[in-house]
Chains A and B, each alone.
Chain A
Amino acid sequence: MSFIFRRLVFYLVAAWVALTINFFIPRAMPGNAVQSVMAKFPNLQPSAYKALEALLGVGHPGSIWSQYISYLNDIFHFNFGTDVSQYPAPVSSLLAQTLPWTIILVGTATVIAFVIGTFLGILAGWRHGGWLDRVLPALMFLQAIPYFFFALILVEFLAIKTHVFPTGQGYANGLIPGWHGDFISSAIYHSLLPAFTIVATSIAGWMLQMRNVMITTIGEDYVIAAQAKGLPSRRVIFTYAARNALLPQLQGFGLAIGFVISGALVMEIVFSYPGIGLLLLNAVTSNDYPLMQAIFLVITFAVLIANLVVDMIVVFADPRARTRAATA
């Protein structure tokens, strides 16, 4: 079995655990969630009430086991139930509307932050004690700021005080979403500030991690040997030291994806960006349990897929891993 296939099995197990937790939370929690939803939405249709009962396992919808099977079956067909606050919209269509926004914004910004941060980390590690090292505490401060607070500050200065950027939303009012120039340029313009928030707040983490691995790698004999051979510094830095330091960095990237996405979701709220994060806020404020649970699952799946991609990159980038993955 190849390494990637084994990892795929692992992610399937993780997905199954997430699904199972998701199934049992409403059944294990004290209190009657259906009652609290009904209190908020008194004019809910009886069919919605039924659907909600089935989702939350209230009433007599059959044995736990049969509930579980039908739940897995529903998820497998991307059927996440009916939304309560925007009845009768199916949850899956709400997700389909918002997911692309989040994936494009958060995905692009995270990759940019990772690339820049890693590059700066390489330089900081190589010129250990240089000026990049000295600005590190300032970067740590940026890293310690919650994403959404940094977003608030940016909106204050760049959108409300000086009208350089829009204060929020995904695109200008009055535009119809579609593949035409006006909409795309407006969407990009609106995404600049949110993207900058993600990049600025997460860059320090990648940089610090890469710097530390680099410092350890530089002490290795093969790097010293490469220097002794008289190879140009650039070659020693990138081909000898950085390439080997990249493996732990990539693995750290896989583990940190969940954090980055979670932080970005909360940030979307500040910008009223039409992504999953804003949807999540609406779900929380209106006690929309089906939507909340579906969002948890979708984010989990996204993180698992991203991790699988990272695994593939690791195998592709590291010859040692490639041989082992092939022989295993």
Chain B
Amino acid sequence: MTAVLPISAEPAALATEDARPGRWRRMPTKAKVGAVLLGVFVLAGIIGPLVAPYDPSFQNPSPALSLHAPYGAHLLGTTQSGQDVLSQLLSGIRLTLELAFFVGLVATALSVVVGVTSAFLGGVWDEVLSLLTNVFLVIPALPLLIVLLGYLQDKGQTATILVLSFLSWPWGARVVRAQTLAIRNRDFVAAARETGEKTGRIIIWEIVPNEVSLIAASFVNTVLYAIGASVALAFIGVTDLNSWSLGTMLYWAQSQQALQLGAWWWFVPPGLAVALIGTGLVLLNTGIDELGNPRLRDATSASRIAGRWLKPADPTPVLAEISQPRGRLTGFLHSFSRSSLLDDGESR
């Protein structure tokens, strides 16, 4: 029976089964390398602390094990106080990734809320929110983070996550706002509005699903930023120095002169881990970019005709500020932004 029916569950299921390996193969090499690199570290973060050979804080009193170079029992050597570097690294990866993941989550949620609200309210509120976003973009975050964390008595993981998220949303908000402005006037949104959908429903079911790739990219960027910032903050010494993160490892290595003592196994692993996680994220993001923008792809996707590389010709969708009629107050507020340079003269 099913054979004559054009609609059946089976072919569709087959198609998705087919598409999965195909999609992976079609992913840009950069994205694949990035995903694998990141996967290794996420795995290390999840199972690492379970398989760590020692307690990262355990100080072996034996003087022979102070600053011992890597060997069988301590695969990455020991610190000055006889702690196992490998165990510290494994808990460090978990703590740092955990922090970055939650900062990414909270900050991206904040940026979606601010960006979508800004684009939907429009008018003066949009300009006020944009002004706020631009102000927080231009104020350097790291020194402010240092002051904030410096005053905090409880510098635990949760507090650090909240403070970091509080300062990492503006980048995402800007992009989400621009994209929402572009989508807001599309036909399908107008159709949803005509059928009497409430604004909240339109936002959740029509707008946000169309921004998933953008939000994902913003999430990856925020995670990247959070790793860099948290490691730098720990290196300066404003976070909780009793917990093992990649940053605190570097802090102790630096403050106990690992460099001068020639103990490369102490400071190279955490730094390399940060760099590799970061590279994985950057590669992943570039890959996502290339997936959405064919022109940025490697020349392998271009065809060679008569000795010349010809790139895919479809124009890149550029997130342009959509020029909109502005009221007096709105126009006045807008004229202070950098993007006012790109306006057409007519709106004024």
Contact = CB atoms under 8 A, between A and B. Distances in A.
Contact of B271 (A1, A25, A152, A261): A152
Interface in A1-45: 1, 3, 6-7, 9-11, 13-14, 17-18, 21-22, 25-26, 29-31, 33, 36
A251 interface: yes
A261 B302 CA distance: 39
Interface in A221-271: 251, 254-255, 258-259, 261-263, 265-266, 269-270
A104 B137 CA distance: 24
A309 interface: no
With a 10 A CB-CB cut-off, give which of B146, B224, B267, B298 has the most chain A CB atoms: B146
A156 B259 contact: yes
B335 interface: yes
A109 interface: no
B232 A263 contact: yes
Interface in A41-68: none
Contact of B335 (A1, A261, A303, A307): A1
Interface stretch (B58-66, B181-189, B280-288): B280-288
Interface string B128-141: 00010011011111
Interface in B233-254: 235-238, 250, 254
B336 interface: yes
Interface stretch (A169-177, A184-192, A294-302): A294-302
A137 B264 contact: no
A143 B227 CA distance: 13
Contacts of B135: 13-14, 17
Given A148-B232, A292-B146, A129 B337 contact: no
Interface string B117-157: 00000000000000100110111111110111011110000
A215 interface: yes
B151 A146 contact: no
Contacts, number: 197
B313 A219 contact: yes
B74 interface: no
B274 A146 contact: yes
Interface stretch (B8-16, B102-110, B340-348): B340-348
Contact of A7 (B144, B277, B336, B345): B336
Contacts of B309: 128-129
Nearest to A159: B259
Contact of A212 (B231, B296, B302): B296
With a 10 A CB-CB cut-off, give which of B153, B259, B302 has the most chain A CB atoms: B259
Contact of B299 (A26, A129, A152, A293): A129
Interface residues of B, number: 69
Q: Which secondary structure dominates chain B's binding surface?
A: helix
Given A10-B134, A324-B341, A137 B30 contact: yes
Interface stretch (A73-81, A112-120, A283-291): A283-291
Contacts of B281: 144
B107 to A, nearest CB: 15
Contacts of B267: 149, 152
Nearest to B148: A25
Contact of A262 (B143, B151, B345): B143
B137 to A, nearest CB: 6
A281 B298 CA distance: 43
Given A129-B309, A328-B340, A152 B259 contact: yes
Given A145-B271, A284-B237, A160 B259 contact: yes
Contacts of B148: 25, 29
Contact of B139 (A17, A146, A156, A285): A17
B271 A289 contact: no
A153 interface: yes
A84 to B, nearest CB: 13
Interface in B317-340: 318, 335-338, 340
Contacts of B235: 146, 148, 266, 269
A141 interface: yes
Contacts of A140: 279, 282-283, 286
A200 interface: no
A280 interface: yes
B99 to A, nearest CB: 15
Contacts of B141: 258, 262
Nearest to A36: B153
A94 interface: no
B139 A266 contact: no
B153 A10 contact: no
Contact of B340 (A3, A11, A269, A283): A3
With a 10 A CB-CB cut-off, give which of B138, B313, B318 has the most chain A CB atoms: B138
12 contacts: A3-B341, A36-B153, A128-B311, A129-B299, A152-B254, A155-B259, A261-B140, A262-B142, A292-B146, A300-B144, A303-B139, A307-B138
Interface of B: 30, 33, 131, 134-135, 137-144, 146-148, 150-153, 224, 228, 231-232, 235-238, 250, 254, 259-260, 262, 264, 267-268, 271, 274-279, 281-283, 286, 289, 295-296, 298-300, 302, 309, 311, 313, 315-316, 318, 335-338, 340-341, 343, 345, 348
Given A31-B153, A146-B228, 20 more contacts: A13-B135, A31-B151, A129-B300, A141-B276, A145-B271, A148-B250, A152-B259, A152-B271, A153-B271, A219-B311, A219-B316, A251-B338, A255-B138, A258-B138, A263-B228, A266-B235, A269-B236, A284-B150, A292-B146, A300-B143
Q: Pick the 4 closest A-B CB pairs, nearest first.
A: A129-B299, A144-B278, A262-B142, A149-B271
Interface of A: 1, 3, 6-7, 9-11, 13-14, 17-18, 21-22, 25-26, 29-31, 33, 36, 128-129, 133, 137, 140-141, 143-146, 148-149, 152-153, 155-156, 160, 208, 212, 215-216, 219, 251, 254-255, 258-259, 261-263, 265-266, 269-270, 280-281, 283-285, 287, 289, 292-293, 295-296, 299-300, 303-304, 307, 311, 314-315, 321, 324-325, 327-328
